[in-house]
A and B are shown apart, each in its own frame.
Chain A
Amino acid sequence: MDESPSLSDTAILTPRVIEVCGLGKRFGSRWLFRGISFTLDKGDRLVVLGSNGSGKSTMLRIIAGLETSTEGQVKGEPKLSLAALDQALYPSLTCREHLLLASDLRGCEARDQELLEKISLAEAADKPASQLSTGMRTRLKMALAIQNDPEVLLLDEPGAGLDEDGRALVALIADEQSSRGALIFATNDPFERRLANLELSIS
């Protein structure tokens, strides 16, 4: 029997998780960014850098399918999750209810207790989101983002509002994502920047 790998075997050996081709976004006559192209393989961690208003968050939203691009495309349909700084939570729903709702809608396991313990929110499990601090909300958003084991995890300013433990949690989640797929995160924080092995600068 011939032992040489076929084309499909080669693809499995070097899994390509996401491919972004010539992405551009224009508001009116002004281009926010243009010609963004990159390919990420399993284990890649891409940090998107840029000044305020450069379009980092918009780019993540386009990749997540929440906004349309003016030009370019995202190839493939990987399982995506997004946790963003400006993402809102349901004020009257508790932390646990958020996780249960998300799991029902995505068709994945809730793992609510496991995730709440992981993000150190087990004691606040039955608190409504309106009573959580900014840091606690950020932790909950990260738990929601990793609940469905995404192939591409998108984090927008993941460390904003987090204490030292929270930052360590971001690092842990980044490590775990490397074994699952790819990570794309937008930040200007020097600590978070060190978590990446690839950099993309938007100006």
Chain B
Amino acid sequence: MNSASPSWKREIRAIFNKEVASELRTKSGLMTAGLFGVVAVVAIALSSFGMKISGTLSSGLMWVALLFSAAVAMPRVFLIEEEQRTGDLLRLWARPHAVFWGKCLYNMVQMLITGIILSALFFVLTSRNVEIPILYGVSLFGGCASLAAAVTLCGAIVSQAANRSAMAAAISVPLLLPLVALGVSSMRVSLGEGSLLGGEQAAIGLLGYSSVTLALGPGLFAAVWKS
């Protein structure tokens, strides 16, 4: 019940800065995402040592690493508020849309850092080349943005639920499957397999997916946040 009207920019920046400050002190999010992603990529590189991995398999493996890095780290931004019981402070002080945007923005930055590190590590360790760098960049950027938006939304909804595990599975599987399909398709083409047109369409699909998630996310989140 805040009657004051702070600017959206100030509110979103405050939430983002809070997440950054907490992360820099605890290092839990990047460590969790990084540990899983790095171990996955190193395991892939070791198991395929001396072999040339196909573009299709490489894009699939990269997406497994990206997806699970996001899944273990991103929902934390909301779950930790409920675990620490600090969610009430945000409910008292902030508007739900600002909370969602601040946390989503933080997750996007974290996901992009994770994606860049994992990509660099993957290509160094597996000696694969990127055939169409622009398409790969769009796939990685669009994929990380979409993953962050989708997983933030899942985390926001799941954190309010009594039975979190069941709710997480019920929400995240239908939400993330199309995203993974689009991501693998576009990244596969950027690594030199499949038609360029299909890759471009998948990349546009990724950007569309993130736009739709970001457009619907705040409204859905606001509905569950204060309930």
Contacts and interface: CB of A to CB of B under 8 A. Distances in A.
Interface of A: 64-66, 68, 77-82, 86-93, 97, 100-102, 104-108, 128, 144, 148
A88 B82 CA distance: 10
| Nearest 8 pairs of A and B residues by beta carbon | A107-B6, A104-B14, A105-B93, A88-B85, A105-B94, A92-B25, A107-B4, A79-B3
Contacts of A101: 14, 17-18, 93
Nearest to B22: A92
Chain B, interface size category, equals 20 to 34
Given A79-B3, A101-B93, 17 more contacts: A64-B92, A65-B92, A66-B91, A68-B227, A77-B1, A77-B3, A78-B1, A81-B92, A90-B84, A92-B21, A92-B22, A92-B26, A93-B18, A93-B21, A101-B14, A102-B93, A148-B4
B3 A87 contact: no
Contacts of B1: 64-65, 77-80
B13 interface: yes
B22 A107 contact: no
A144 B5 CA distance: 17
Interface of B: 1-7, 10-11, 13-15, 17-18, 21-22, 25-26, 84-86, 88-94, 98, 226-227
24 contacts: A65-B1, A65-B91, A66-B88, A66-B91, A68-B227, A77-B1, A78-B1, A79-B2, A88-B88, A89-B89, A90-B18, A90-B84, A92-B21, A92-B22, A92-B25, A93-B22, A102-B93, A104-B6, A104-B13, A105-B6, A105-B15, A107-B6, A144-B89, A148-B4
B79 to A, nearest CB: 14
B103 to A, nearest CB: 13
Nearest to A152: B1
Contacts of A92: 21-22, 25-26
B4 A108 contact: yes
B26 A105 contact: no
A89 B6 contact: no
A106 B11 CA distance: 8
B143 to A, nearest CB: 30
B179 to A, nearest CB: 31
Contacts of B13: 104
